[in-house]
């Protein structure tokens, strides 16, 4: 399933960031760019152990909870409130596949735990670099591919809507 950029921005990313008290155009663009890069806006929701719209691994998911949210009970409560009641308890990693807002909250926490200021919302190269440093730092991750995917999935679609 491929998600329309405007729908994903308005009904998932922005709403999630508002629930977390973290909304900004730069955060929205970073998360949309991450979705474009990692899963092709939802066209590939699972790649090996990487799950969901943002291709978060179970290890990264646990790390967010065990090494970051454990120190921020108020934020942990907000994130947990986005998860489903039973689904989270029965299969917490499954929430990354089935709950777009929860997956978005966890993706945002991956970035937030870096403790670094975001680039400007329209600085695509800066967003790509931020993604590479804090979300997908492996050597195979390519900033230029992020930029190309951003333009393919986000810039192009926004131009079509306008």
pLDDT digits (tens, 9 = 90+) for 30-84: 999 999 999 999 999 999 999 999 999 999 999 999 999 999 999 999 999 999 9
How far from the centroid of its chain's Cα atoms is residue 72's Cα?
Answer: 19
pLDDT of residue 34: 98
pLDDT digits (tens, 9 = 90+) for 103-140: 999 999 999 999 999 999 999 999 999 999 999 877 77
Q: Please report which confidence band the pLDDT of residue 141 belongs to, taking 50, 70 and 90 as the band edges.
A: confident
> Is residue 159 scored above 70 in pLDDT?
no
Considering only residues 89 and 65, tell me which one the structure prediction assigns the higher pLDDT. Answer: 65
**Domain count of the chain?**
1
Residue the block writes with tokens 């029965």: 90
pLDDT of residue 56: 97
Determine the structural domain holding residue 21 and report its residue range: 5-161
pLDDT of residue 137: 76
- Residue 26, CA distances (Å) to 44, 89, 99, 156 in order: 24, 32, 22, 18
> Is residue 1 scored above 70 in pLDDT?
no
pLDDT of residue 2: 85
Beta bridge partners of 56: 51
């Amino acid at each position: 399933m491929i998600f329309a950029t405007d729908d994903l921005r308005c009904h998932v990313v922005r709403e999630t960031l508002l629930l977390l008290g973290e909304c900004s155009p730069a955060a929205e663009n970073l998360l949309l760019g991450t979705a474009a890069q990692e899963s092709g806006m939802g066209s590939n929701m699972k790649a090996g152990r990487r799950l969901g719209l943002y291709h978060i691994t179970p290890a990264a998911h646990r790390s967010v909870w065990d090494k970051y949210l454990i120190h921020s009970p108020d934020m942990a409560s907000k994130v947990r409130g986005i998860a489903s009641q039973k689904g989270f308890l029965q299969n917490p990693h499954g929430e990354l596949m089935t709950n777009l807002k929860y997956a978005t909250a966890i993706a945002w926490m991956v970035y937030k735990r870096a403790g670094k200021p975001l680039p400007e919302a329209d600085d695509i190269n800066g967003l790509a670099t931020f993604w590479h440093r804090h979300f997908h730092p492996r050597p195979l991750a390519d900033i230029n591919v992020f930029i190309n995917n951003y333009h393919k999935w986000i810039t192009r679609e926004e131009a079509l809507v306008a």
